Amino acid sequence: MSMATEEERATKAREAGDREAARLWRAWRTVHEMVQDRGYQLSEEEVKISLKDFRYQYSGPDGSIDRNKMKFSADPSEIMVKRYTNLPTTAQPVPPPPDVGRIWVEFLPGDNVGIKQMRNFAQFLSQNSHHTGILITNVSITPAAMKIIPAVANETRIECFMEQDLLVNITHHELVPKHVLLSKEERGKLLERYRLKDTQLPRIQLSDPIARYLGLRRGQVVKIIRKSETAGRYASYRLCV
């Protein structure tokens, strides 16, 4: 009887490990697609990794997935840099450099994310000259820890996601239209063409799931491309606020 029980326990533990590995693999795939869709440079091998290869690369000695191994960084592509390039103005004939740089992504292990963990993450980003950091957790981050994000905004940008929110890539849903971030030049031409102020555009909230996926910032404009039975495709624009 006890032998059967041991076998059952081993089977349940193995099945639980398989589910956890598949769950983390899906989150891993989504965050890689997200980083790539923003314009960072990643190889297709990294983005499209199979579950088998994922388990081989990121399992610990006990066979479970080790989140400490799931860290990665990426540099912005030339296209992404162009999107963030500032235009010269009368007041600023020599514009500041593009506000974009290397991104660091980390899956944080453990069931507690407080001030200490967030401060350590912010310090790591700053010390290693990472422009942006994405922290992915298995639990909610404490409100006190979240206050650190705006406090370090001048040094580094921090975004937070929960693993469960990355199990499905929302942009792959058939009802979600394609969103494309306009460069500052494209944004200027759009407003000039229609003789608009940016505040006259429809809005998309900073907290919108698509805005978070693309890492939008206040003042940026996205082009939304929808399919139409009559027009084929048509575009609309929204200002991030």
Residue 79 lies in a domain: yes
Burial status of residue 134 (CB atoms within 10 A of its CB: 0-12, 13-18, 19 or more): buried
What per-residue confidence (pLDDT) applies to 226? 92
Asked if 55 and 22 sit in the same domain, the reply is yes
Neighbours of 220 (CB within 10 A): 23
Residues 126 and 217 in one domain: no
pLDDT the model gives residue 229: 77
Single-letter amino acid, residue 48:
K
User: Which of 3-7, 91-95, 197-201, 230-234 has the largest mean confidence?
Assistant: 197-201
Query: What is d(CA 43, CA 50) in angstroms, rounded to the nearest whole number?
Result: 14
pLDDT at 227: 86
In this prediction the pTM is 0.92
Residues 17, 70: one domain? yes
> How many domains is the chain partitioned into structurally?
2
Task: Provide the 10 A C-beta neighbour count for residue 46.
Answer: 15
Percent of the chain with pLDDT over 70: 98
**Residue 40 to residue 33: CA distance in whole angstroms:** 10
Last residue of a domain, one of 168, 193, 220: 168
**Residue 156 sits in which domain range?**
12-168
Q: State which of 124, 148, 168 marks the end of a domain.
A: 168
pLDDT of residue 51: 96
87 contacts 184 by C-beta, under 8 angstroms: yes
| Shared domain check, 67 and 57 | yes
In angstroms, rounded to a whole number, what is the distance separating the alpha carbons of residues 80 and 39?
A: 5
Query: Three-class SS of residue 223?
Result: strand
Q: Which helix (H) or strand (E) holds 161?
A: strand 157-162
pLDDT the model gives residue 4: 60
Same domain, 24 and 82: yes
- Do 135 and 180 have their domain in common? no
Q: Summarize the confidence of residues 222-232 as an average pLDDT.
A: 86
